[in-house]
């Protein structure tokens, strides 16, 4: 049987989502818990990977199991073995043709930035920029990324990876000195959100123009964006499927 789970985690003390030797990862912690429940190794398949120090509000993963438990019992059982920076929000049985990654139709990321005085309590959760940014300049520049583009200039290089993606929305809002960048697309390459936000921050700081970002985008990888926002302010907010 296939079980779909929604998980939330604080990425501050993780070396990313994907299992790595000798490093603490989200996948590693979940698979250790599932081994105790199933009494055998279980591999989970996630909707995507997050990097070190990146958080998730609603990340999705699935796994196959022979063990039969009521759906909510899966939630309670996994959480029983979870550390306090990971929490399973929901668990349910799904059809065997469901795949947490390949069945996803959209993903939403949010990035939080503070223009206020430095806060040691927020430093792992909000990028402590500490200076004013021009919101209207950033909103105007963000429009160039909407639609389908080759985002090779705004993600890490992968000679085998397809860098064509569709960005449905790129909204920027500000409240009480906290700027929220909200991006929804059909998929994101590694570091893509952080490079897009990083480039927009440079526009807001009036260090580069919208036209320079546009030239990078149109170069399809020949001109790389060297501005990458810090991981601490990034959240995987939601993964959307047809039933959403």
The residues annotated as belonging to the active site are 51
Rg (alpha carbons) of the chain, rounded to whole number: 19
> Which residue in this structure is represented by tokens 């958080």?
55
| Positive or negative torsion for Cα 228, 229, 234, 240 | negative
Which residues are within 8 A (CB) of 100 and not within 5 positions of it... i.e. 6 or more apart? 4, 45, 46, 47, 60, 61, 62, 239
> Which residue in this structure is represented by tokens 């209207």?
136
Which residues are within 8 A (CB) of 241 and not within 5 positions of it... i.e. 6 or more apart? 103, 104, 105
β strands within the chain, DSSP E: 2-9, 45-46, 55-64, 86-94, 106-114, 127-128, 147-150, 164-175, 178-185, 234-240
* Residue 41: half-sphere exposure toward Cβ, Cα within 13 Å: 2
Tokens describing residue 93: 């049985």
Q: Which residues of 123-139 are buried (b: 16+ CB within 10 A; e: fewer)?
A: ebbbbbbeeebeeebbb
Determine the angle formed by the axes of helices 135-142 and 210-218, rounding to 10 degrees. Answer: 20
């Amino acid at each position: 049987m296939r079980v779909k789970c929604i998980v939330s985690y604080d990425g501050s003390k993780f070396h990313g989502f994907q299992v790595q030797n000798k490093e603490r990862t989200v996948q590693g912690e979940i698979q250790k818990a599932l081994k105790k429940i199933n009494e055998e190794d279980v591999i989970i398949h996630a909707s995507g990977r997050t990097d070190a120090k990146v958080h998730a509000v609603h990340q999705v993963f699935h796994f196959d199991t022979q063990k039969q438990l009521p759906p909510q019992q899966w939630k309670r059982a996994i959480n029983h073995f979870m550390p306090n920076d990971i929490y399973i929000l929901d668990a349910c049985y799904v059809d065997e043709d469901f795949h947490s990654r390949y069945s996803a139709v959209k993903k939403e990321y949010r990035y939080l930035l503070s223009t206020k005085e430095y806060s040691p309590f927020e430093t792992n959760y909000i990028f402590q920029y500490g200076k004013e940014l021009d919101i209207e300049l950033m909103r105007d520049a963000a429009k160039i990324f909407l639609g389908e583009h080759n985002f090779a200039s705004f993600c890490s290089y992968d000679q085998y990876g397809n860098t064509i993606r569709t960005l449905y929305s790129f909204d920027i809002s500000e409240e009480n000195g906290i700027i929220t960048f909200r991006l929804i697309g059909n998929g994101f390459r590694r570091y893509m959100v952080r490079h897009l936000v990083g480039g927009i921050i440079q526009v807001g700081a009036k260090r580069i123009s919208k036209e320079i970002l546009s030239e990078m985008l149109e170069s399809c990888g020949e001109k790389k964006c060297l501005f990458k926002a810090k991981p601490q302010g990034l959240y995987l907010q939601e993964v959307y499927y047809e039933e959403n």
